[in-house]
Amino acid sequence: MNEIFEGEALVQEQTREQAGQQSGPHGRAEVPEIQLADPEVVRDPFTVYGRAREQGPVARLVAPGFGGMWAVTRYAEARELLSDARFEIRSDSFLRPEVPDDCEPYMRTMAEMNGPEHHRLRRLVSPAFSARRAAAFRPRIEAVVDRLVDELDEQLARSGDGTADLLPHFAVHLPMDVICAWVGVPEEMRPQWREFGRTVVLGAGADFAAAIPGIVRGARRTVELRRCEPGDDLLTELIRVRDEDGDRLSDVELVTLVWHLVMAGQSPTPLVANAVDALLANPAELDALREDPTLLPVAMEELGRLAGPTILSIPRYATQDLVLHGVPVAKGEAVTAVVAAANRDPRAYASPDRLDVRRTTPAAPHLGFGHGSHFCLGASVARVQTEVAVGTLLRRYPSLARAGEAGRAMDPGAWRLESLPVRV
């Protein structure tokens, strides 16, 4: 998420002076300002953004070298922003590393598209990402998770004291192992893709940039293979897709989709770690889940709301001058939804800071997977793998407990752990 802020500074510098001169009845001078460089914002974003939320629905995010960004803090207003056609996601929202020329055609994913271009791709691929398809894929996710827990068992045995760090020995590998099984990546390529996944989870940097060519070339090879040798996998299904007008996905679009899944599909790593950490911090709720595993689907939604990794959404840019909840916003300025504040808004949830594994709030689904046309494409699969992962850990390790303090990443855009030592 840090790279988003760096890329944002280049765009915001162009409009900051013009926008800063506007005011209104709830003008900019009245909007709370949050310094992203303040250690307290990273240490406890829920309290900082919660205070801003109770002052008003809009805040201003600033940082040294960063031109600033508007932030919507309340649930209803954030949900509205995420589906507001006056705002669009642009490539400026993402800072891409340098890649070889043969990888460049695959870097612009559906996440950066808007309007008819985005709608076309979404229409073609959405049926393959439905909740029904995710449920059908569940047995293969269970097989992946069982294998990962077997590997965790080996690590626990080697430790000599029944302890292990759940991040590197379980959660980090989960998303990429699932993606490989789902997409149809050949078995011989999967060990290397697992290492790619570890690199992607860690974020930007030289190792991340170096992994991109291997992912893209592997995706191209997998598409070619599935055209010749169809299998029971996502790529085979998408290769066969045609709409009523005969439109279909090109090879470039198929490879780009795999790259998109690799990038966006790593969210179960921090979500599983955060979920386990939250349950260990709430023994009564943990005991309730152990006693009644049928609560898992509801509990996972609650954990996604309370302990999801997304703090700030990908920025949206205003396509025109407008007034956002009383605050003038200039064309070209960026606005983000503060998911961490919206998901704990007392206007949407009773006792919003309390973990309740029996909570059902169908009228207010959490915003961890977004909302609107850019709602997370793989949300159904992410939900299933998170539920399977947490449920399997609780079943296989009935005495699972902390073995030390968890280490949290200093990331202003994501609530994620760097370590989670546990004892079984």
pLDDT tens, 237-290? 999 998 777 899 999 999 999 999 998 888 999 999 999 999 999 999 999 999
Q: What pLDDT does residue 77 have? A: 98
Q: What does pLDDT average to over the chain?
A: 90
Question: Could you give the angle at the alpha carbon of 219 between the alpha carbons of 215 and 221, nearest 5°?
Answer: 120
Band of residue 418 on the pLDDT scale cut at 50, 70, 90: very high
| Closest by Cα among 313, 266, 267 to 1 | 313
Percent of the chain's residues with pLDDT above 70? 90
The structure's pTM equals 0.90
pLDDT tens, 187-210? 999 999 998 888 887 765 678 888
**Interatomic CA distance for residues 23 and 30, integer angstroms:** 9
Under CATH, which number does the domain 1-99+309-342 receive?
3.30.43.20
Asked if residues 313 and 82 have their Cβ atoms less than 8 Å apart, the reply is yes
Asked if residues 382 and 271 have their Cβ atoms less than 8 Å apart, the reply is yes
**Interatomic CA distance for residues 39 and 37, integer angstroms:** 6
Q: What pLDDT does residue 29 have? A: 52
**38: CB partners within 8 A, 6+ apart:** 48
- CB-facing half-sphere around the CA of 196: CA atoms within 13 A: 25
Q: What pLDDT does residue 209 have? A: 82
Q: What pLDDT does residue 41 have? A: 95
**Interatomic CA distance for residues 185 and 364, integer angstroms:** 37
Q: What pLDDT does residue 245 have? A: 75
pLDDT tens, 3-31? 444 444 433 444 344 344 344 444 455 89
Asked if residues 355 and 303 have their Cβ atoms less than 8 Å apart, the reply is yes
Regarding predicted confidence, which is higher, 9 or 386? 386
Sequence ranges of the domains in the chain: 1-99+309-342
